[in-house]
Amino acid sequence: KTVDKSIYANNHTSVKQKKHYRKFIDWSLIPSKYRIKYQEPANDDHEGDPNLIKETKKALGPEISPLLVNDAQLAKSVPTYVLTVGHDRLRDEGFIYAGRLKRVGVKVVHNHYENTFHGSISLLYGLLSLDIAHEMVADLVRYIKENL
């Protein structure tokens, strides 16, 4: 069994962690057109793999997973730019993160680009260049100029 499959099977967290993190994931913050594929997480009542839990502990910390902090910690965030794309495993987390930030009073600009994919912002030049990448960078640069 690979680490990826173990994580997809939700074996990287204990039952206690699952209950703790669940309260930070508000599915209502995801636009309804994306919620149609929602499934309850697998193995919610399963204790998980102790070795994998240990290996992934840092990945669940606020530096890597800011979505998994309480509202008091989230409210200390600086004004934030969130970029999501239509074809991305992290899209829903982006919507939830932006929504939670707004809910606790953090100034948020959330730009969503429906018809592109994770990493497309890096395809600015060459054979694989995308017009949407230039649009995404222009929007980000505009945000930085207006907010620094």
Q: What is the mean pLDDT of each run of 10 residues along the chain (148 residues)?
A: 74 87 90 79 76 87 91 96 96 97 98 98 97 98 96
Instruction: Please write the tens of the pLDDT for every residue from 101-121.
Output: 999 999 999 999 999 999 999
The model scores a pTM over 0.95: no
pLDDT of residue 40: 66
How far apart, in whole angstroms, are the C-alpha atoms of residue 92 and residue 101?
Answer: 14
pLDDT of residue 137: 99
